[in-house]
């Protein structure tokens, strides 16, 4: 190798080593900074989700909802509920964690798990029976946010792109993010607020709705009695005739959409007392008693021959021979009816004696020989 002259261009080995060392230091600083930014980004996103879910959960609680009564969510009457399967907050506290996965899970006893569908879905009917499909009823408040937070796991209802956290309402109303780490359910302590949950009071103005009915029928939705609703809420009304026919709504009816319709609505612009009126004529009804052999398995139906409507439609299931079948009794308007007994592809039909003012009660016995 010949010596480099003063006119030659290039770098010495020492210069190259110094340059590489400087670049390595700079690169390490950049990589550490970017890693820190990603970490802060995840923590900030989790903190944002915590605030969002906590606030929307309390907002949901302070709004009145009619939880359905068939096991999908809530209690089936108007009230203040949390967005969970039973409408209650959980029984766990921060001190309960960590918990062995085998002892508790969202699928079984973790009653404080949030059903995100109740917060993120538009009100409608019917309400689903899972965290993703559940929704408030028609006419209720919602949705409370536009999208299920990405940090939420599939247990909360986020099926795609599920996050690692299962959001839970603890016994004190605090919302926290729990996850499975190894063999334990643990709480991300960054999601535990240092202050109590936000207090979001209900609307300053709520109005009272009192519903009654006359003999001959009843109001099956929202029921009968006293209810309180937020100002401006639209409430569905459904009156059902039992031993008569629906006539109209009376009382404070100015806010009822159609006073002559059994199915209608009322806008809560004030406090109201309303009454569903029915015609009631005991003489226009007769009693039919159906006694079924305890060993029979079949469909039992009674049809009004003039309107072709079914007044009885039940499925008889065999019971222990030591028990006797409880008779089914119903009151139906006078008229002509037919009885059908169906078992598989086989159907047996017979006309019942006409129900007239002279025949006020008949007993139908269905035994093994007739079937």
Q: Token pair of 295, please?
A: 């060993």
Q: Give me the pLDDT at residue 249, please.
A: 95
Give ranges for CATH 2.60.40.10 in the chain: 283-366
Question: What is the CA 86 to chain-centroid distance, rounded?
Answer: 9
Geometric angle at alpha carbon 68, from 212 and 75, rounded to 5°: 85
Partner residues linked to 332 by β-bridges: 286
Give average pLDDT by consecutive 10-residue segment, the chain, 371 residues: 53 74 66 46 76 87 77 72 87 87 69 89 78 83 83 84 87 88 86 73 70 84 81 88 83 93 90 87 80 77 82 65 54 85 80 85 75 49
**pTM passes above 0.85:** no
Question: What three-state secondary structure class fits 191?
Answer: helix
Reported as type and span, the H/E element at residue 286 is strand 285-292
Residue located via tokens 């536009």: 146
CATH class (in words) of the domain with range 283-366: mainly beta
Q: Give me the pLDDT at residue 319, please.
A: 52
Q: Using CB atoms within 10 Å of the CB of residue 152, give its burial: 0 to 12 exposed, 13 to 18 middle, 19+ buried.
A: buried
Q: Give me the pLDDT at residue 39, please.
A: 46
Asked whether the beta carbons of 255 and 237 are under 8 A apart, the reply is no
Q: Give me the pLDDT at residue 325, please.
A: 46
Nearest to residue 118, comparing CAs of 167, 79, 151, 73? 73
DSSP annotation of 84: B
Asked whether the beta carbons of 288 and 362 are under 8 A apart, the reply is yes
Residue located via tokens 């159906």: 290
């Amino acid at each position: 190798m010949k010596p480099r002259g003063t006119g030659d261009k290039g770098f010495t080995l020492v210069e190259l080593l110094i340059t590489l060392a400087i670049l390595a230091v700079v690169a390490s600083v950049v990589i550490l900074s970017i890693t820190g930014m990603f970490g802060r980004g995840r923590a900030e996103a989790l903190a944002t989700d915590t605030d969002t879910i906590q606030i929307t959960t309390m907002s949901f609680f302070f709004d009145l909802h009619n939880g359905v009564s068939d096991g999908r969510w809530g209690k089936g009457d108007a009230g203040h509920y949390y967005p969970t399967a039973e409408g209650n907050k959980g029984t766990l506290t921060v001190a309960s964690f960590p918990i062995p996965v085998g002892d508790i899970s969202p699928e079984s006893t973790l009653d404080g798990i949030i059903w995100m569908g109740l917060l993120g879905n538009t009100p409608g009917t019917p309400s689903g029976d899972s965290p993703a499909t559940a929704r408030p009823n028609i006419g209720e408040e919602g949705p409370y946010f536009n999208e299920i937070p990405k940090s939420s796991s599939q247990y909360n209802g986020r099926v795609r792109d599920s996050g690692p956290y299962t959001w839970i309402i603890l016994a004190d109303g605090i919302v926290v993010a729990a996850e499975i780490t190894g063999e334990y359910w643990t709480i991300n302590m960054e999601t535990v607020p240092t202050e109590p949950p936000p207090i979001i009071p209900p609307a300053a103005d709520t109005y009272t709705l009192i519903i009654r009915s006359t003999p001959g029928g009843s109001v099956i939705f929202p029921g009968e009695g006293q209810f309180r609703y937020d100002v401006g809420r639209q409430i569905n009304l459904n009156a059902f005739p039992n031993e008569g026919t629906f006539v109209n709504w009376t009382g404070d009816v100015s806010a009822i959409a159609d006073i002559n319709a059994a199915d209608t609505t009322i806008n809560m612009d004030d406090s109201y007392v309303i009454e569903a009126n029915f015609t009631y004529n005991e003489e226009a009804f007769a009693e039919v008693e159906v006694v079924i052999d305890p060993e029979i398995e079949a469909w039992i139906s009674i049809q009004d021959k003039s309107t072709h409507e079914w007044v009885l439609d039940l499925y008889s299931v065999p019971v222990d021979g030591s028990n006797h079948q409880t008779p089914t009794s119903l009151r139906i308007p006078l008229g002509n009816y037919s009885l059908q007994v169906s078992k598989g592809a086989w159907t047996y039909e017979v006309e019942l004696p006409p129900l007239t003012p002279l025949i006020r009660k008949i007993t139908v016995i269905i035994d093994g020989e007739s079937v």
